[in-house]
Amino acid sequence: MTVLHVMPNVSRAFGGPTESLIGYVSAASTQGITAHIAAPGVGNEDREWLVNALPPSATLHEFTSLGRHAWVVAPGLWTWLVINGHRFDAVHVHGLFNPISSISARIAAARDMPLVMRPFGTLSKYTFSRRSKLKNLYFRLLDRPALLQANTIHFTTEAEREEAKRHNLSMTGRSHVIPPPWRGDIEEIDQDDKTKHPTVLFMSRLHPKKNVLGLLEAWQNVSQEHPRAELIIAGSGEDEYVDMLHARVRDLGIEHSVSFPGFVTGEDKARLLKTSWLFVLPSHQENFGVAVLEALAAGLPVVISDAVQLDAFVTANDLGKVVPRETPAISSALTTALDDPKWLSDRAKRAPTIVADQFSLEQIGKQLKAMYEAIS
């Protein structure tokens, strides 16, 4: 079986969607499924990273693109899809509200190619609350017709599927919930590796959706209770937004306890995961939260908002604290966690094994195979 994945962006900085793609392709390869990936071209460094992360059987097809942000177009990709799409047993389109994904899905549907669409959170109330008139128009004209014609819709959590029902997409018998797998190795957690002072790690894209401002305001209170504690905000974003975050840190008087190392990869990323005490992600909306899974696999207990849709997994396995997105709740959760070293160490020891058991490549691969076989 051969599956074509269409992605609007495969750069490393794209974050969770790219990491999820690698996970899905890797999981499917355990079941003998070969992947081809069609996407806009990336730089040499991103390409090398991606090719090394993918299984050897995967093939990357890059296309020249024009535009920026969500308005990138790649006419060559669409032409290639028209000519070659029928070679594949399924076309798996990732994302909505961008021309590459939207038009690719319409092409596949119009030519009766077996089509899977993965919204990765874009059907949420939060998404439609931003620039709502434009998004509703775009959705009615492009994405909704494709979703109605798709053979199946791929959600990463049950919560994402439930939230999408508000769009009346008739998902009975044509939707699957399959989370991304965990691809890494599980290592024994050594508390001696942790920093001597309390360290809290935020590691994600710097975007208003991630509620970084709320985290900074909460940290002002946390730093008063724990004067030696450090908040590390690792990630990149639009320059104007990042500058505003730095200014807010100064306004709050917390420069001494907040650092911005930027987008981290490789050894730097591994070091942060290994040495931090606690992970935090207070997002306004997160349809899965790959960074949360990554942190848990590294032995970091988590404090996440109730809008991160891994919340049920975290709660069921008692791996952290799930709180509202308001500043007092975030502040209280961080403070009480740092107050209790035993609470931290107990969850640090259990989390990696639980992640490995419930999100293995083989388990997710079998689910993907069943989904593809149902439509091909």
- Extents of the domains making up the chain: 2-181+360-375, 191-358
Q: What is the mean pLDDT of residues 284-293?
A: 92
Q: What is the mean pLDDT of residues 69-74?
A: 91
Least confident interval from 181-190, 291-300, 339-348: 181-190
Burial status of residue 137 (CB atoms within 10 A of its CB: 0-12, 13-18, 19 or more) = exposed
Give domain 2-181+360-375's CATH superfamily: Glycogen Phosphorylase B; (3.40.50.2000)
3-state secondary structure of 371: helix
Architecture in CATH of 191-358: 3-Layer(aba) Sandwich (3.40)
Residue 37 falls in which region: left (phi positive, over 0), alpha (psi -120 to 50) or beta? beta
pLDDT at 185: 61
- Asked whether residue 49 carries a pLDDT value surpassing 80, the answer given is yes
- Residue 136: count of CB within 10 angstroms of its CB: 12
Least confident interval from 186-200, 230-244, 266-280: 186-200
Shared fold status for 2-181+360-375 and 191-358: yes
The CA–CA distances, whole Å, from 17 to 20, 179, 180, 258, 289 equal 5, 12, 10, 27, 10
Q: What is the mean pLDDT of residues 188-209?
A: 86
Residues 98/120, Cβ–Cβ less than 8 Å: no
Q: What are phi and psi of 213, to 5 degrees?
A: -60, -45
Q: What is the mean pLDDT of residues 197-207?
A: 96
Rounded CA gap, 239 and 273, in Å? 25
pLDDT category of residue 132 using cuts at 50, 70 and 90: confident
pLDDT at 276: 96
Least confident interval from 51-65, 285-299, 333-347: 285-299
